[in-house]
Amino acid sequence: MPKVQIFDKAMCCSTGVCGPQVDSVLPKFAADLEWLQAQGHDVERFNLAQDPAEFVKNATVQQWLTDEGVECLPLVIVDQRVVSRSEYPTRENLALWTGTSTKAMARLPMASDSGCCGGDSGCC
């Protein structure tokens, strides 16, 4: 499965979903990352304020920061390839880049008109 890394601007906490003025995009993006992890993907998220060493040891991130400054953040890297910069991508984009389906799970089968929960059985 693809490895997804997110390099965020400096925020007060690891997801930015705290404080008096939360950017409305951040809770949705955090939920999208949780969804991606639930699909089995390895997801790592680094905050410049809390994880500066991760920014330093990644040559690709260092190059982007040198060329464009912090305006390039957030950087989204999938399998060591930058797929997004300067904005938080949608769930659909994350799915596309990782080969993950966004289709809803198939509906569970319903009981037929016979048996315990159907017909004139009287149990339901």
Q: What is the pLDDT of residues 60-91, one digit of tens each?
A: 999 999 999 999 999 999 999 999 999 999 99
Q: For the sheet containing 42-47, what is the strand order?
A: 42-47, 3-8, 75-78, 81-85
Q: Is the pLDDT higher at 118 or at 31? A: 31
Domain 3-98: CATH class, spelled out: alpha beta
Q: What is the pLDDT of residues 34-61, one digit of tens each?
A: 999 999 999 999 999 999 999 999 999 9
Q: What is residue 112's predicted lDDT score, i.e. its pLDDT?
A: 52
DSSP percent split of the chain into helix, strand, coil, nearest 5: 35, 15, 50
Mean pLDDT of all residues in 87-96? 95
Q: Is the pLDDT higher at 118 or at 91? A: 91
Q: Is the pLDDT higher at 98 or at 25? A: 98
Q: How many CB atoms lie within 10 A of CB 81?
A: 10
Give whole-number Cα distances, 97 to 1, 11, 19, 72, 102, in Å: 11, 25, 31, 19, 12
DSSP three-state, residue 71: helix
Indicate the domain borders of the chain: 3-98
Interhelix angle 91-98/25-38, nearest 10 degrees: 30
Q: What is residue 111's predicted lDDT score, i.e. its pLDDT?
A: 52
Mean pLDDT of all residues in 108-122? 51
- What pTM does this model have? 0.76
Residue 82 buriedness (CB in 10 A; 0-12 / 13-18 / 19+): middle
pLDDT at 122 exceeding the cut of 60 = no
Q: How many CB atoms lie within 10 A of CB 16?
A: 22
pLDDT at 107 exceeding the cut of 50 = no
Give whole-number Cα distances, 108 to 38, 62, 90, 105, in Å: 20, 48, 28, 9
Q: What is the mean pLDDT of the chain?
A: 83
